[in-house]
Structure 1
Amino acid sequence: MDADSPVDPDDPGTVQWRRDATTSRTLRLLWSFGVGTLFAMVLIIAVWRLYDIAGQAGDVFQAVILAAVAATIVTILAVVLSSNSAAQLERLLAPLPVPMPDHSGLDRVLNAALGTVIMAVFIATLMVMGRIAAQPEFLGAGGESPFTGLAAATIPLALIGLALASFLHSVGAFDRKDETIYLYDPDQAIDLADINAVSSRTVGDTAILTLEYAQPDGQYVAGPRRIVVPPAVADDVRSTVDARRLRFSEKVRQRIRGWLPSRFRSS
C-alpha cells in the first residue's frame, strides 16, 4: 500500500488486496491479449511494408528481414520461458538508453511481448490462410474474406479486453473497525454508514460488489456504485452492512417500545 495510506497495514482488522496484471491471472491474460493484439497489428503492418520494399532490392534482403523476425520471436520465447525471465530481460535492456523498469514493470513487458508474439503468429496465420483460400484452385476470389474478417475482429476484441482489465483492476483496503473501504488509483473512501444494501456476484476469483447508497433528505451521495474486490472482502463488507442494518433496526425497535405505554409492550 501507499505510504500515505489512511489504514495501518499491520492492523489485523484491516484487509488489503491488490488485483492487477501481476497478481491476477485473469487480468494478466486480458492485458496481454489486448496489448499484444494491438502491438502485433502494428508490427505486422510495419514488417509487411519493409518486406515489400526489400523485395524491390532483391530476395536476399527479404530473407534478412524474415531471419530478423524469426530471431526476435525465438529470443522473446527464450526469455519468457527462462527460469529467471526478469533477470534475462534486464540483461537485454541494460545496453539500451531507456530507464530500467521495476520488477512489476519487467513482468508487464514480458506479458506484452509474449502476447504480441502469440497474436502476431495467429494473425499472420489467418492472413496466409486467406491468401491460400483466395487461389483459383480453392475458393477463388473472395475466399480470403472469412480469414481477414476474423483477423480484423481481433482489434475490437483487444479493446474490450483492455477495458475489462481496467474495470477489474482494483487496489484497496477494508478497515473493519472504521467500517470504511479505501480504494487507490484513484483514491476514494467509502463509508459503509452511507450504504443501505450490498449485493455481490462472484466470477472466478473476482467479486463485483454493487453498492446501494442511502439518500438522506433525498440528497444524492457521490461514490462508486460497483467495485471489484476479492470474494472474501465482499463477504466481509456484506456482513458488516447487514450487521449495521440489524443494529439500526434494534435501536428503532427499542425507541418505539420506549414511546409505548407499558401495557402495550411485549413481555
Structure 2
Amino acid sequence: MDEDATASANADANANSEAGSPADAIDPVDPVDPDDPGTVQWRRDASTSWTVRLLWSLGVGTFFAAISNVVFWRLYDFTEQAGGATVEIVQTIFLATIAAVAVTVLALAVSGNSVQRLERLLEALPVPSGSPSRRGLSQALDAAVGTVVMAGLIGGLVVVGRSVAASGNGVGGVLGPAAFTGLAAISIPLALVALVLASFLRSVGAVDRTERTIYLYDPDRAIDLEVIRDVSVRRIGDIAVLSLDYAQPGGQYVAGPRRIVVPPSVAEEITGLVDSSP
C-alpha cells in the first residue's frame, strides 16, 4: 500500500511540473553533432574576428600604454635632473631602447608567422618561459601591439602638451596644454568601452536547421526558432547583431536573449529559417 501511494504521488508531481511550466524559448542545450550537414557552427572571438581583436588589442593596450607613459616620463625626467655631460647620451640610449622594443613588436606583428617567431624568441631566452599556448602568444602579441600604438598616441599628446606649455602659446591661440592632457586622459574610459564591446561581440554557437534551434555557448542556451516572429540584422564590421522578436503564445512572456551576435553568413541562415516559418 505504501509503495503504491508513493508511486502515485511521484506520477502526480511529474505531471504537475510538466503542465505548469511557463512558456520559455530557452531549453536545455543538447549536444550538437559537428559533422551533421544540417548544423552551422560559428566562433567569434579575438582569434577569428578582426573587430573583436582590434577592440581587445586597443582596449588592453591603452591601459598598458598609460602605465608605460607614466614610467617613461618619470625616468626621462630623472635623467634630466641628473645633469652632467652624459645626460644627452643617457637620454639617447634610453630613447633608442624604447624605439627598438617598439620596432621589434611591430615587426613581429606584421610578419606572416608572428606566433612562430615569438615562440623561437622565447625559446632563446636564458630564463625558463614554460610552454605558452599559441592562442596565449597571439593575445600577448596583440596586447603588445595595442600598447605600442596607444603609447605612441598618448605620448604624442603629452609631448605636444609639454611643448605648448613651454612656449606659453596655445595652438591657434585656442588649445592650451590642458586640452592635450585631457585628450590623453579620455583614452582610459574609451579603452574600457572598447573592452566592453569586445566582450559583447564575442559569440560561440551553432544553428541546427533540422531542429530549427540556435545553440549558444558560454553561457549555454538554446533558442527555439518557432517562437521567433521576426529578426532584424545590424552589421558591425565582420559581425552581425541580430535583434529577435519573440511571439507571445497565449499572452505569455517568452524568456530568451533579445540580441545575439553571429557572423553575417549565420545571420542570413537564421533570417531564412525564420522567414520560412509557417
C-alpha displacement at 1:116, in angstroms? 0.8
1:44-91 Cα distance to aligned partner (Å, 9 max, x none): 112222333444545365455334322321221232233321112112
1:154-204 Cα distance to aligned partner (Å, 9 max, x none): 111111111111111111110111111111222221122332332222344
- Identical positions, percent: 58
- The reply on whether 1:91 has 2:120 as its aligned counterpart is yes
C-alpha displacement at 1:146, in angstroms? 1.7
Aligned to 1:82: 111
- Distance of 1:167 and 1:129 partners within structure 2: 35
- Opposite residue 59 of structure 2, the aligned amino acid is G
Aligned to 1:144: 177
- The reply on whether 1:52 has 2:77 as its aligned counterpart is yes
Aligned to 2:247: 214
Contact 1:54 1:62 (C-alpha < 8 Å) held by counterparts:
yes
- The reply on whether 1:13 has 2:38 as its aligned counterpart is yes
- Opposite residue 27 of structure 1, the aligned amino acid is V
- Distance of 1:190 and 1:151 partners within structure 2: 44
Structure 2 residue runs without a partner (length 5+): 1-28
TM-score, with length taken from structure 1: 0.80
- Would you say how many aligned residue pairs link Structure 1 and Structure 2? 242
Aligned to 2:213: 180
Aligned to 1:242: 275
Kindly report which structure 2 residues correspond to 1:55-74, keeping only aligned pairs within 5 A, or say none: 55-57=80-82, 59=87, 62-74=91-103
**Residues 63 and 196 (structure 1), Cα distance of their counterparts in 2 relative to 1, 3 Å cut:** same
TM-score, with length taken from structure 2: 0.77
C-alpha displacement at 1:99, in angstroms? 4.2
Contact 2:115 2:137 (C-alpha < 8 Å) held by counterparts:
yes
Please provide the CA RMSD for this pair.
2.5
**Residues 218 and 189 (structure 1), Cα distance of their counterparts in 2 relative to 1, 3 Å cut:** same
- Opposite residue 50 of structure 1, the aligned amino acid is L
C-alpha displacement at 1:34, in angstroms? 0.9
Give the counterpart of 1:111 among 132, 135, 142. 142
Higher relative contact order (CA 8 A, sep 6+): 2
- Distance of 1:224 and 1:18 partners within structure 2: 18
1:101-121 Cα distance to aligned partner (Å, 9 max, x none): 322222211111111111111
